[in-house]
Structure 1
Amino acid sequence: MSQANPEHPPMDLSSCDKEPIRTPGSIQPHGFLLALSPTLEVLQASENLEQMIGADAARAIGQPLERVIGEQASLQLRPELDAAGIGQRPLYLCTLGIGPARHFDVLAHRYDGLLILEFEAVERASAADFRHLHRQVGDFLLKVSDSATAQAMCELAAQEIRRVTGFGRVMVYKFDEEGHGHVLAECRDDAYPSYLGQRFPASDIPRQARELYMLNRIRLIQDANYTPARLAPPVNPVTGTANDLSFAALRSVSPIHLQYMRNMGTLASMSVSLMVKGQLWGLISCHHATPCAVAFDKRTACEQLGQILAMCVESREDASELQFRLDVRRIMVSMLAGLTQSADFIDNLSSVFPALLQFARAGGAAILFDDRLLTYGDTPGEEAIRDLVGWLDLHCHGDVFHTDHLAALYPPAAAMCGNAAGLLAMPVSRIHKHYLLWFRPEVVRTVEWAGNPHQKDADGANAAPMAQLSPRTSFATWRETITGTSAPWHGGEIELASEFRTALLGIALERAEQMAELAEELGRANKELEAFSYSVSHDLRAPLRHIVGFSDLLLEPATSENLEKRQRFLRNIKDSARLAGKLVDDLLSFSQMGRAALRPTLVQMGDLVRSCIDKLTLDVGQRQVEWDIGPLPAMRADPTFVQLALYNLLSNALKFTSQKERAVITIRASDEGAEWVLSIADNGAGFNMDYVHKLFGVFQRLHRMEDFQGTGIGLANVRRIIERHGGRVWATGVQGEGATFYFSIPKELHI
């Protein structure tokens, strides 16, 4: 195996995660570098300048560009420098002949106040030909678009890049959540060992190297045995610090990585970054057993192919992710529909247990609601679940808890890996111990590594943790069996579980509101029942006592001889019976108000008012009554019910003005934006506003029955009718001067 150049002292190979790879202070020697000022004066040069073009690097500093590369080359290069829009990424300018037999592709980019020119030695004398790039990219795009999976796309990319570059082995691998690389596709010469399906540990690529892969999407190492060419002077004259060569094509790489390559039997390599959604998804990694040059035009083609592959992978993954989420959401919607079937929330949940398992792709599920535990499928025992929930209640405070290795967080779970190696759990209440849990069983799997990731050297004599970074010396297949873990939870499952929790809370809140409304309605019904009991014990018994009393008097011998007294007793019996019947009829009417369905239609309120006045004609008799009716609107309401409400209000107005010589009853309407408001005012007995809260209660009277006859149900009926329309009722009055009753009906009914 080749070793590092003996001219360079050995390096500490255990600290490459701290190595300043962006500022190596040197370049790879298959080209040379010049850093120029805005006036094209040479400020820095690589030390291999003399080997490349016969010019001394130290003497080049401070010289104009043409004095260093020659007049002819400068005349050819200057127009390209003026015409090109040079940014921080290397741009191909031209191919120059410098000296009698050397030709160079010239790349330019600007960084840290310098114009950096890189001269890569090439065999051809002609300019780079990019005409083939369009055909290569177009053909690859057609092929990759027909691929069904990301793995098939990667296989096409590996084949195409090997064809363009001639590398002996091209791999495409994807990084997992822990940073390990998994080889998805490979195209190789038979002489090269295969790594297909194997994994490379995350420690093979240090953190700062990954960051650089994201910044600069392509990197070439032509010969791992190269001797770096240092920059002179060693610091950037503009910034006074080491040159940042992040975007330089010739940037020298870490000696640790070079040793890694030699350990792997690779002397030339190229990598292309695959960026998906702004993250390093994976790499296209090219290897060759001997030094291998790849010109800039071919590297550009590979970089374009990598970008196309990344975009296609992103598109395919987005489509798969969307389809997965749609499938899970469809299950969730069907579950939510089943959760409203009955009043018992837990029974509803247990009725959708099969869908719950399908929703989370789980082996078992459990619901704990206070002391009530329901399970379905393959779950741990009841005591184990209750202990687990107790631990969750103490240690997990988010909306959703998930893990595919429960025993690592909760040691007692080691005894239940068979059905609960993985857990997805969510609290349904922040106050009570209400939990919904999904369990996944253990999945025993074998992972193939390209070499033992836990060892530093080939014979395993010096074992080290994976986190310690150093170049490995063995890449032989090493198998690791992983136990105690379940299939991982998908991000979509976790997000939709959180959404499901929100929906459950919404259902629970709606149920609580219904219960509160029911409690309020029950409270009102109790009050009405109390009033009804009082009425039965007082109002209804009074006429019945009269009937019994006068009947007893009629049976007495003395009464039978007095015709006038007998007739008076019979009239009293008749009046009492009529009052009792009226009371029963009104009770029946009030009961029906709460049950009958409303049938709203467009109602002309003027016509309803006049119809009610016509019915009251007999009650008016010879009295002087002035009906003052203003313009009344048409509104949507149930005509039968609203007519009954109007009749009760007009009848009351007529009754409570009976002691006035001239009664004035005024009916008005006003538009209050979202609702119509009708008022009925009279100049009658009025009432004391201190007792207005009793006015619309069942059997509530603010006047003596001896003064104004009535059962005390009419206004309660009015309130029930109007509230069922979504409106409200209220009244104002002055005792002895009159009263005004109001009711509103919304313009948009929600019934």
Structure 2
Amino acid sequence: MTTTAIAADLQAAIENCAREPIRTPGSIQPQGFLLVIDEASMTVVQVSENVTDWIEIAPSQLLGMHLDDLVKSGSAFVDQLSDLDEDQLQAFHVGDTTLIQGERAGQLFAMMLHRNDGVLIAEFEPASDASSAHGRLYPLIRSFISQMREDESVDELCLRSVGFIKRITGYGRVNAYRFDKEGNGVVNAELADDGYDKYLGLCFPASDIPQQARELYCANRIRIIADVDYAPSPIIPAHNPATGQPLDLSFATLRSVSPVHLHYMRNMGTGASMSMSISIVMNGQLWGLISCHNHAPRDVSFQTRTACELLGRVLSLQVETKGAHLRSQKMLSLRKQIVQMLGAMADHDSVLNGLKSLSDVFLGFVGASGAAVVSDTECDLYGLTPPQNQVHALATWLNNRQGSDVFHSDNVGRDIPNLPGLAKSIGGVLAVSISEVHSNYILWFKPEQTHVVHWAGKPEKVVDVSGSLSPRQSFAKWHQTVEGYSTPWDETEIEGVAELRLAVLGIVLRKAEELAQMATELKRSNKELEAFSYSVSHDLRAPLRHIAGYAELLTDMEQANLTERGQRFLGTIGESAKFAGTLVDNLLSFSQMGRSAMRLSEVNLAAMIESIKREMEPEYQGRTIEWITGELPIIVADPAFLHLAMRNLVANAIKYTRNEAVAVIEITAAETADTVTVSIRDNGVGFDMQYAGKLFGVFQRLHRMDEFEGTGIGLANVRRIVERHGGTVKAEGVLDQGATFSITLPKKHLSPVAR
């Protein structure tokens, strides 16, 4: 048989096991008998077949018998049953149990009565004297509870519980299990007589207990199997008359056991068991079990089982209380660290700088060995982390995934298979998004921790010849080396990270509101500045022209009367006045740029460039310029504004290549589905890229006036024009090797009316 076929058979067997009717087995264990009573008629509607062995009445005689007749017949031994009035019966909830004791032929019997499946289910077992049992068990339980200490660990508490249960039940071996998140159980406490296998510290796979069995352990806290080789007693009739279905025995003590589980117990060499029967439940979930075993069949009285169940409930409450206390302590510590980090962020007015200033607190927040803060523009790494490119790839993966804002994994190779390189650096990752808009993340990393798991037998299921699931044959210690995992992330750590996210988002939101307010104020200030610059520029034009004009007239009229020095002074006055006039004209043009309305139309870029070249011929007459013009598209823009922007860029290329024997100016365009980028490249003086951010500012110059003339406003005009079109500008250069200026404009379409 192929591996695929074996796997398919195994999966089918597991699914069949999951569907096994463990709540409705149709039979009971024979250490007692069962009667099912219809509440409306108070008649017996179902019985266990072995009832004759106990009270010498055939099932056929009991079925349909009224409860009063059963009590008055003299054959019954539970005369107290007649004392149950209607109010007492109505007080029962589903699964509630009461005990009534009676006697027949000197033998004490106990009836456990509960309501379920629309009927009253009465179970009868031999019982010891209740008063003597109470006198023996109550002091033990009181002593157990009184010895509890606040500093007692959960494992120590489980060990005391195991000792108490072993003492009152007399079983040869008692174990306590606790389950991990995957449902695997580890034996954390054990007491065993000589001759019993020891399982302390060993693991049992989650598949040993199917999900439906786990749910049943939460509903019915105690379970007994007196003899693994018992012959089950069928229920007559098989179906509950109230439902037409097999009787639901979820809360019945005598409920028959799954054959697979009995096979499992035999393989462990166990003759009798309360195996996996005292449930430890925390927050409604199965936290653990206390399991008892004995080589020989052994019965345990109802009173003893009740004491064990009470202890199980006390233990559950203690485990839950201790867990809540530890969680509260851990959350308190995490919140103190959150306050520290938020304080640092506030002091530095930055999330990134705040975390950087408290790197030790940030790194140790969740017990990680490495951490990273990733934003659109930065990636800060702390401690032991993957390479930066892998951290960026992880942030991209997180941004594309669907799910919660907090992601955690203790095995990245398993959970993030499309980033195989990540698993070579780390074992676990905890990530949280700190922006609702951008791909910004805080990440913590843990290294892989190779460890050895000690299993009670090889945790593999086998399918027998009938196609049924067969429990493993051996429970001898089996070692498994587990790789690829980090230590798990604690639930409180994950919750703490979620709280940190909310706090950071609050800071980011407040910062965004402050920036929005600043942007509004800046917009108002810009408008006021534009109005001021327009007014000043307009008012300065006339006096500057007067200065330049009168200086020129004075030169013409009085040149013969002026000394050489005076003529030089007068020439300087005229040149300065002309430059100031040009500066004012450019400033006026710049201020008008934000005030003039945009008038869009189709612009032929190729024709515009040819027009600009003709306009500027006087500027490069006598020079050798090699013009390289690519294919330029027709775009939609404001023709006047775009002409001014392109003229400025071409003029700069001509100006800054004047020292080259052969100037090369290349004008090209590149298109995407949404944009057009026009680039003007030259082989001139270039510039140092560290000053690229200054180029497009007003009055910003990278060269002295005696090297290259200019007012420092041209490129500022270019940026304003392009941004008004919804585009961007970019400059790249290398000193003495030329520069490239690019403008990127969005593609726009004219409406039919505009055409």
TM range (shorter): 0.5 to 0.7
Provide closer, same or farther for how the CA distance between residues 93 and 485 of structure 1 changes in structure 2, counting only shifts above 3 A: closer
Residue 491 of structure 1: aligned partner:
491
Matched, 1:332 2:342: no
Aligned pairs for 1:459-538 (under 5 A) are 469-526=469-526
Root mean square deviation of aligned Cα:
3.0
Between the aligned partners of 1:13 and 1:396, the Cα distance in structure 2 is: 34
Residue 545 of structure 2: aligned partner:
none
Provide closer, same or farther for how the CA distance between residues 62 and 347 of structure 1 changes in structure 2, counting only shifts above 3 A: closer
CA deviations over 1:353-388 (Å, ceiling 9, x no partner): 222111121111122222422211111112222222
Candidates 446, 460, 463, aligned match of 1:454 = 460
Residue 213 of structure 2: aligned partner:
209
Between the aligned partners of 2:151 and 2:355, the Cα distance in structure 1 is: 42
SS in structure 2 at match of 1:187: strand
Between the aligned partners of 1:126 and 1:276, the Cα distance in structure 2 is: 31
What TM-score, normalized to structure 2?
Answer: 0.64
Aligned length: 522
The answer to whether the 8 Å contact 2:457/2:476 transfers is yes
Provide closer, same or farther for how the CA distance between residues 371 and 519 of structure 1 changes in structure 2, counting only shifts above 3 A: closer
| Counterpart amino acid of residue 81 in structure 1 | L
Residue 122 of structure 2: aligned partner:
117
Shift of 1:504: 2.0
Candidates 154, 159, 168, aligned match of 1:155 = 159
Candidates 36, 56, 59, aligned match of 1:57 = 59
Between the aligned partners of 1:523 and 1:484, the Cα distance in structure 2 is: 55
Shift of 1:183: 1.3
Between the aligned partners of 2:130 and 2:529, the Cα distance in structure 1 is: 105
Between the aligned partners of 2:78 and 2:147, the Cα distance in structure 1 is: 44
Provide closer, same or farther for how the CA distance between residues 524 and 109 of structure 1 changes in structure 2, counting only shifts above 3 A: closer
SS in structure 1 at match of 2:504: helix
Gaps of 5+ in 2: 1-11, 541-755
| Counterpart amino acid of residue 81 in structure 2 | R
Aligned pairs for 1:213-232 (under 5 A) are 213-232=217-236
CA deviations over 1:405-443 (Å, ceiling 9, x no partner): 111132365544464211112233344332222111111
| Counterpart amino acid of residue 486 in structure 1 | S
Between the aligned partners of 1:92 and 1:371, the Cα distance in structure 2 is: 69
Between the aligned partners of 2:331 and 2:34, the Cα distance in structure 1 is: 52
Residue 84 of structure 2: aligned partner:
81
Between the aligned partners of 2:260 and 2:440, the Cα distance in structure 1 is: 55
Shift of 1:65: 4.8
Aligned pairs for 1:234-249 (under 5 A) are 234-249=238-253
Candidates 284, 289, 302, aligned match of 1:296 = 302
CA deviations over 1:318-350 (Å, ceiling 9, x no partner): 010011111111111101111123355533332
Between the aligned partners of 1:315 and 1:237, the Cα distance in structure 2 is: 44
Which of 1 and 2 has greater Rg? 1
The answer to whether the 8 Å contact 1:29/1:226 transfers is yes
Shift of 1:127: 6.3
Between the aligned partners of 1:399 and 1:473, the Cα distance in structure 2 is: 45
The answer to whether the 8 Å contact 1:274/1:309 transfers is yes
Matched, 1:105 2:107: no
Residue 323 of structure 1: aligned partner:
329
Aligned pairs for 1:707-726 (under 5 A) are none
Shift of 1:256: 1.4
Q: How high is the sequence identity, in percent, across the aligned residues? A: 43
Provide closer, same or farther for how the CA distance between residues 158 and 40 of structure 1 changes in structure 2, counting only shifts above 3 A: same
Residue 21 of structure 1: aligned partner:
22
| Counterpart amino acid of residue 176 in structure 1 | D
Provide closer, same or farther for how the CA distance between residues 418 and 144 of structure 1 changes in structure 2, counting only shifts above 3 A: farther
CA deviations over 1:261-295 (Å, ceiling 9, x no partner): 11111121111111111111111111111111111
The answer to whether the 8 Å contact 1:419/1:440 transfers is no
Between the aligned partners of 1:232 and 1:530, the Cα distance in structure 2 is: 98
Residue 572 of structure 1: aligned partner:
none
Shift of 1:316: 0.6
CA deviations over 1:153-191 (Å, ceiling 9, x no partner): 111111101111111111111121111112111122122
| Counterpart amino acid of residue 353 in structure 1 | S
CA deviations over 1:384-410 (Å, ceiling 9, x no partner): 222222222222553122111111132
Matched, 1:43 2:45: yes
Residue 705 of structure 1: aligned partner:
none
Matched, 1:440 2:446: yes
Provide closer, same or farther for how the CA distance between residues 296 and 349 of structure 1 changes in structure 2, counting only shifts above 3 A: same
CA deviations over 1:109-132 (Å, ceiling 9, x no partner): 22334332221124x467673344
Matched, 1:285 2:285: no
Between the aligned partners of 1:94 and 1:128, the Cα distance in structure 2 is: 16
Between the aligned partners of 2:278 and 2:168, the Cα distance in structure 1 is: 14
The answer to whether the 8 Å contact 1:363/1:419 transfers is no
SS in structure 1 at match of 2:307: helix
Residue 71 of structure 1: aligned partner:
74
Matched, 1:359 2:360: no
Shift of 1:311: 0.4
| Counterpart amino acid of residue 112 in structure 1 | D
Shift of 1:36: 2.6
Aligned pairs for 1:347-386 (under 5 A) are 347-386=353-392
CA deviations over 1:652-689 (Å, ceiling 9, x no partner): xxxxxxxxxxxxxxxxxxxxxxxxxxxxxxxxxxxxxx
| Counterpart amino acid of residue 200 in structure 2 | L
The answer to whether the 8 Å contact 2:448/2:485 transfers is yes
Provide closer, same or farther for how the CA distance between residues 73 and 386 of structure 1 changes in structure 2, counting only shifts above 3 A: same
Shift of 1:33: 1.2
Shift of 1:80: 4.0
Between the aligned partners of 2:437 and 2:13, the Cα distance in structure 1 is: 55
Compare 32-41 and 496-505 and name the one that shifted more: 32-41
Shift of 1:210: 1.2
Provide closer, same or farther for how the CA distance between residues 518 and 205 of structure 1 changes in structure 2, counting only shifts above 3 A: same
Compare 235-244 and 128-137 and name the one that shifted more: 128-137
Between the aligned partners of 1:239 and 1:531, the Cα distance in structure 2 is: 88
| Counterpart amino acid of residue 137 in structure 1 | I
The answer to whether the 8 Å contact 1:13/1:471 transfers is no
What TM-score, normalized to structure 1?
Answer: 0.64
Shift of 1:133: 4.3
Aligned pairs for 1:243-262 (under 5 A) are 243-262=247-266
Provide closer, same or farther for how the CA distance between residues 276 and 367 of structure 1 changes in structure 2, counting only shifts above 3 A: same
The answer to whether the 8 Å contact 1:80/1:93 transfers is no
The answer to whether the 8 Å contact 1:144/1:156 transfers is no
Matched, 1:390 2:396: yes
